[in-house]
A = this chain, B = another copy of it.
Amino acid sequence: MTPLRSIKAELVGKPCDAIDTPALVIDLDAMKRNLVRMSEFAKKHGIGWRPHAKMHKSAALAKVQMKAGAVGVCVQKTAEAEIMVAGGVHDVYISNQVIAPRKLARVAALSGRLTALGGQLAIAVDSHEGVTRLAKAMLDARGGRGVGSVINVFVEIVVGQGRCGVEPGPAVLNLALEIRKHPALRFAGLQGYHGKAQHLRTAQARRDAIASAIEAVVLSRTLLESQGLKVGLITGAGTGTMLLEAASGVYGELQAGSFLFMDADYAQNEPEAAQPQFEHALFVKTQVTSTHAGHVVCDAGHKSHAIDSGLPRVHTFEGEARLEYANGGDEHGIVRAPDGNQHLPALGRTLWLIPGHCDPTVNLHDVMIGVSGGLRKGVVERIIAVDARGALT
């Protein structure tokens, strides 16, 4: 039973008022402006951009980005890669480690499929075991058919995130040499992604973190080149630091994804003057369902938006009083008026929340409702499926 989906398809052409709450809404005008800013930024720095589809999980939005100049997409999961390819995206980078043989068989099959389509697949590794398992899967996928597809392999380097990667220097060289032993693998370059740096609040802290990441990457590249290994591409960067990676002259592709929607968390970063100023384009439409002397309750809780990077902010339209959102559980939000209780919204009033973190928020929804002409007076232009929602494996 999916009555919701059919209702949502009927929304196209209708005013925003027709959107039932809670719902995930994209301000398409703001999104398009963010796209233009990103495209101009990448052009100015002469750098490729391969936005992370783990954020929007939508093949349609991936294709909108590629039309605007993106070279392809990053994903984190094999299933996301499969769904992107099924949706017509033919240049995909799994920027993560895949270890399970069953999943590696899927990776190899997808690589074959993309090669047949004239596209390409890439993947990250950070262990010898990961490389040999990948090589075996690629070989198995060839069966008796002689030459098969070749997958691009990036060595992920430890750059300060404290998560995946191999230590800069000799370990990188060893892994690159291991990759080169396998005819179905092509050593494509290095990944130096510093996720934590994205959310450091001061510009100086982010500069320090990325300077150290760049040092690790350059040290490794220099060593590899001294041994005659060509480092084709260095990839990394998120929305919080991409100015620094882009300006480094070292990185060749940016993975930033959040710029498209901008969330409340990124908006808390002290801005860098030279970084494009992205707008909030992703909102949860919600409604007041219960009113009280000191607070009201709205119908969006943390099943409507992720709270890993903080609670959502209530969007303030010009001339309106500020409202504050507090956690009310899975299905409720508590809204207070710091400017005085006379500003509390009435029963039935619509509020628009800016999610704390766009990636896991999008992952809670089956569709995103694209609106043009503004949130209040706009019209529903399109319904965008979150194709890879829940695609975890």
Binding site for B on A (CB under 8 A): 1, 3-4, 20-23, 54, 76-77, 79, 82-83, 86-87, 96-100, 102-103, 126-127, 129-130, 162-165, 195, 287-291, 295, 297, 302-304, 306-308, 327-332, 334, 347-348, 359-360, 363-366, 387, 389-393
**Contact flag A303-B360 (CB < 8 Å), given A86-B1, A290-B127:** yes
Q: How far is the CB of A306 from chain B (nearest CB, A)?
A: 7
A330 near B289: Cβ-Cβ < 8 Å: no
On chain B, the residues within 8 Å of A308 by CB distance are 302, 307, 327, 330
A289 near B366: Cβ-Cβ < 8 Å: no
Q: List 7 A-B contacts (CB under 8 A).
A: A1-B82, A23-B393, A127-B290, A127-B347, A164-B289, A165-B290, A389-B390
B360 near A330: Cβ-Cβ < 8 Å: yes
* Residue from A79, A303, A365 with most neighbouring chain B CB atoms (10 Å): A303
Say which residue of B127, B195, B297 sits within 8 Å of A329 (CB atoms): B195
B20 near A83: Cβ-Cβ < 8 Å: no
On chain B, the residues within 8 Å of A364 by CB distance are 363-364, 390
**Contact flag A103-B20 (CB < 8 Å), given A308-B302, A392-B303, A392-B304:** yes
Which B residue's beta carbon lies closest to that of A96? B331
B363 near A3: Cβ-Cβ < 8 Å: no
A290 near B100: Cβ-Cβ < 8 Å: no
B20 near A100: Cβ-Cβ < 8 Å: yes
Q: How far is the CB of A265 from chain B (nearest CB, A)?
A: 12
A393 near B99: Cβ-Cβ < 8 Å: no
Which B residue's beta carbon lies closest to that of A126? B290
CA distance A87 to B3 in the complex (A): 13
On chain B, the residues within 8 Å of A365 by CB distance are 390, 392
Which B residue's beta carbon lies closest to that of A101? B348
Which B residue's beta carbon lies closest to that of A133? B348
A102 near B287: Cβ-Cβ < 8 Å: no
A20 near B328: Cβ-Cβ < 8 Å: no
Which B residue's beta carbon lies closest to that of A347? B129
A76 near B331: Cβ-Cβ < 8 Å: yes
On chain B, the residues within 8 Å of A329 by CB distance are 163, 195
Other CB < 8 Å A-B pairs besides A99-B288, A303-B360, A307-B308, 6 of them? A1-B87, A20-B100, A21-B393, A23-B392, A195-B329, A308-B330
CA distance A144 to B141 in the complex (A): 66
Q: How far is the CB of A135 from chain B (nearest CB, A)?
A: 15
**Contact flag A303-B4 (CB < 8 Å), given A329-B163, A331-B54, A332-B164:** no
Which B residue's beta carbon lies closest to that of A284? B392
On chain B, the residues within 8 Å of A86 by CB distance are 1
Which B residue's beta carbon lies closest to that of A164? B290
CA distance A288 to B314 in the complex (A): 39
On chain B, the residues within 8 Å of A387 by CB distance are 1
B99 near A20: Cβ-Cβ < 8 Å: no
CA distance A347 to B334 in the complex (A): 44
Which B residue's beta carbon lies closest to that of A97? B289
Which B residue's beta carbon lies closest to that of A18? B102
Say which residue of B20, B327, B393 sits within 8 Å of A393 (CB atoms): B20
